Amino acid sequence: MKITWLGHSAFRIETAQSKILIDPFLTGNPGFAGLDLKDATAGVTHILLTHGHGDHVGDAIALAKESGATVLANADLAAWIGAKGVSRIEMGNTGGTVHFGDFTVTFTNALHSSAQITEDGVSHALGNANGLMLHVENGPSVLHMGDTDIFSDMGLINELHQPDIGIVPIGDRFTMGGAVAALACQRYFNFATAIPCHYGSFPIIDATPEKFVTGMEGAKTKVAAPKAGETLSF
């Protein structure tokens, strides 16, 4: 498996059969600046969305129309995207699991909002925010937490799914900050590797992963903080 951070909360995950984009906010993402859009999206087969905010939906609609990739989102968000002309939609909701070729995705809880004010000036309620739990055939399991604060039922997510890799928001203001994110990882999860995200992209959130890295000192979990565009192999 290969995991590439594309800035902010956007990731590309490559499995044996699939090329997955999670929260593909690329155009207008300061963290993606200087990277190549075609390289980042080449061969995409699936687009997974944690929630409906613009800095997570990003380029999903345009990419899905161009590539024919299947978009997975909560039922409200998926219906909204389908109404915009995306034909290949898979919808689910918290607790549900959707099966694809060589991986499954389960919608987990996240503490966040999920509405979007569009160009028509209308606020669209787009379901609940979620984390996304990926179980991959012959590969490590990956939990993308989405945008969230710490909550005690993270321990139940760990008990049910035993994620090997955690993708963890750490930027503060809109999500938990680095110190709290480190507490969440150590108290509720047994990740082999934690990858921080949702930082360094906008001035009002933390610029570096320093608080998270410091908070994880002495933990059994390895912290991997790649540069935008860097690929980690597992």
Beta bridge partners, 89, equal: 71
Tokens 């951070």, residue located? 5
pLDDT category of residue 22 using cuts at 50, 70 and 90:
very high
* Three-state DSSP state, 217: coil
Question: What pLDDT digit, counting tens, does each position of 148-198 carry?
Answer: 999 999 999 999 999 999 999 999 999 999 999 999 999 999 999 999 999
pLDDT category of residue 48 using cuts at 50, 70 and 90:
very high
pLDDT category of residue 121 using cuts at 50, 70 and 90:
confident
pLDDT at 119 over 80: no
Beta bridge partners, 131, equal: 108
The DSSP output letter for 171 is B
Whole-Å CA distances, 57 to 26, 31, 78, 157, 182: 10, 15, 11, 24, 26
Q: What's residue 90's pLDDT? A: 98
Question: What pLDDT digit, counting tens, does each position of 86-100 carry?
Answer: 999 999 999 999 999
Q: Of 49, 169, 167, 154, nearest to 108 (Cα)?
A: 154
Contact 208, 199 (CB under 8 A): yes
Q: What's residue 86's pLDDT? A: 98
Residues 72, 80: Cα–Cα separation, whole Å: 12
- What percent of the chain is modeled with pLDDT above 90? 96
pTM here? 0.98
Q: What's residue 120's pLDDT? A: 80
Q: Enumerate domains of the chain plus CATH numbers.
A: 2-226 (3.60.15.10)
Residues 117, 60: Cα–Cα separation, whole Å: 16
Contact 58, 29 (CB under 8 A): yes
